[in-house]
Each structure stands twice: as C-alpha cells, then as structure tokens.
Amino acid sequence: MDGPARTHHEPLIQQSTYTCAGMWWAHCCRSIITRPNHTGWCSTQDDAQALIDWHLAGEIGPAPVGTDVPLQLDLFV
C-alpha cells in the first residue's frame, strides 16, 4: 500500500485454525508481531497480549516468553 510510513497501532489477537491450530498470534502495524528470534506463536491468549504489550512499548527489552516454533510471515492461519 502507498502512503506515508506512520506508526499506527491496531493490535489484533488471533487464533490459528490451520497452520498451528489452537495457537495464538498477534498482528499489528501491518505485520505479525515476532520476537527477535523470529517466533510469534503464543500458547495462550494472555501470552499474545503480553507480546502486544511488548510491541506497544517499543519492543524494548526481553520479549515475552513463547513457543520456539518458527512463525512464517506468510502463514495461512
């Protein structure tokens, strides 16, 4: 999409029904929120919320703990 690059947070928590059924993930800023190790799956909705809180805080400091399962940015949820 065209337009000025602006940070506009619209965090969204979703639960996978296909790729990693039952796992949670969070979306914001037109992309999936991932940890520095490129994982983004969360075992619980609370974990996903923690990931969003970390993102909204500027992704500073250690990321919330989650699963080590790699999350592909083109995942089919």
- Site residues (CB under 5 A) for Zn ion? 9, 28-29
- Minimum Å gap between C-beta 66 and Zn ion is 17
Give whichever of 22 and 61 is closer to Zn ion, judged by the CB atom: 61
Smallest distance, Zn ion to C-beta of residue 30, A: 8
Q: Cα dihedral sign for 53, 43, 61, 68? A: negative
Q: How far is the CB of 28 from Zn ion (least distance, A)?
A: 3
User: Which H helix or E strand runs over 31?
Assistant: strand 31-32
Tokens of 54: 């970390």
